[in-house]
Amino acid sequence: MKRALALVALVSVIAIAGSSFVFPLVSAWIPQLGSAFGINVSYSPIGSGGGIAAVTGRTVDFGASDAPLSADQIAACKGCVQIPWALSATSIPYNLPGLNCVVHLTGPLLAQIYLGQITSWDDAKLKAVNPKCSLPATKITPVYRSDNSGTSFNFTDYLSTASATWKSKIGKGVNAQWPAGVGAKGSSGVAGVVTKTEGALTYVDVAYALKNKLRFASILNKDGKYTTPGLRGISAAASTLPKKITGNGELSIVNPPKGNPLSYPICTFTYIIVPTASSKAAELRKMIYWAVTAGQKSGPKLLFQPLPKQVQAFDYKQIRLITGQT
């Protein structure tokens, strides 16, 4: 009995909120952290914007976001460090029953769909890049995240690199002013709309798409190759990173330059935002170090590519800043 009480007393509770994108990976980590370190993790997938707000208000131990912090957000968080802790991709699921081919899409075409300029699956521009598909005369319903979402940031960042019109009219952000389509909250929300709506398409983390058996498109990269969001495509995109990571850890690997024929163009790192003066500094250092090292082994089966070595090296420096001191 005394031993059981002692073990309970050793359990640390870590509260995290934010990114729904990384939730499948964190869910795989939670039981491992409990058994290895006695750390009980509570994770609320409320979206990246919610996670940033929660850690800024210190209602959680740290936040999770697929969108890197802006300069204003870094200042508002008052003593927070940003740590890239996972790497994956955003898929483009669609609902076209009976179609016996994989739909091909390009960045400019996706931009035109979300701008409301392409409204039917049998549009001539879509047929031109899908010569082997008998695309139906079905209305396209673009579905977007209505909450502040890091996945939206990744997707609109990609569209901004692929379409000058999108960049000038909309730009990138966690909650864009969407010109067309239907909004829904969270990964489950947008996926739910697509599942129920023939002709719909959306953007969602590939782990969620696979878990829920959503069909997703192949996307054209700058080498003229149509690629899917698998580990090979994510790894190829990440290979374009500099050999040394500096600054605040903000990383972008969307739409990699020509010379990377295997790369998938809508990949993203996802981050945690951690107060350096936390009273749980020792537990946080232990947990985060494990996540960016041994924890990466849980990633591939969920289509999270293990972190490149130079990103891990940067993370170690950031983790050491979590001292518990103001």
**pLDDT at residue 11 in the model:** 56
The answer to whether the 10-88+268-320 and 91-238 domains have the same CATH topology is yes
Q: How confident is the model at residue 282 (pLDDT cuts 50, 70, 90)?
A: very high
The 10s digit of each residue's pLDDT in 213-238 is: 999 999 999 999 999 999 999 999 99
**pLDDT at residue 308 in the model:** 97
Structure tokens at 166: 């999108």
Distance CA 293, CA 121 (A): 44
**pLDDT at residue 296 in the model:** 98
Q: What is the DSSP string of 200-251?
A: EE--EEHHHHHHTT--B-EEE-TTS-EE-SSHHHHHHHHTTS-SS--TT---
Domain ranges of the chain: 10-88+268-320, 91-238
Structure tokens at 297: 């082994």
The listed CATH number (3.40.50.150, 3.20.20.70, 3.40.190.10, 3.20.20.370) that belongs to domain 10-88+268-320: 3.40.190.10
Chain CA centroid to CA 10, Å: 33
Choose among 264, 316, 292: nearest CA to 88.
264
| Residue with the two structure tokens 């800043």 | 321
- Residue at 107: amino acid letter: G
pLDDT at residue 40 tops 90: yes
Distance CA 312, CA 270 (A): 13
Distance CA 226, CA 266 (A): 12
The listed CATH number (3.40.50.12500, 3.40.50.300, 1.10.579.10, 3.40.190.10) that belongs to domain 91-238: 3.40.190.10
Average pLDDT, the chain: 93
The 10s digit of each residue's pLDDT in 123-165 is: 999 999 999 999 999 999 999 999 989 999 999 999 999 999 9
Least confident of 9-13, 66-70, 213-217, 317-321: 9-13
pLDDT (mean) for 51-76: 95
* Residues 6 or more apart whose Cβ sits within 8 Å of residue 111: 159, 162, 163, 165, 166
Distance CA 173, CA 26 (A): 24
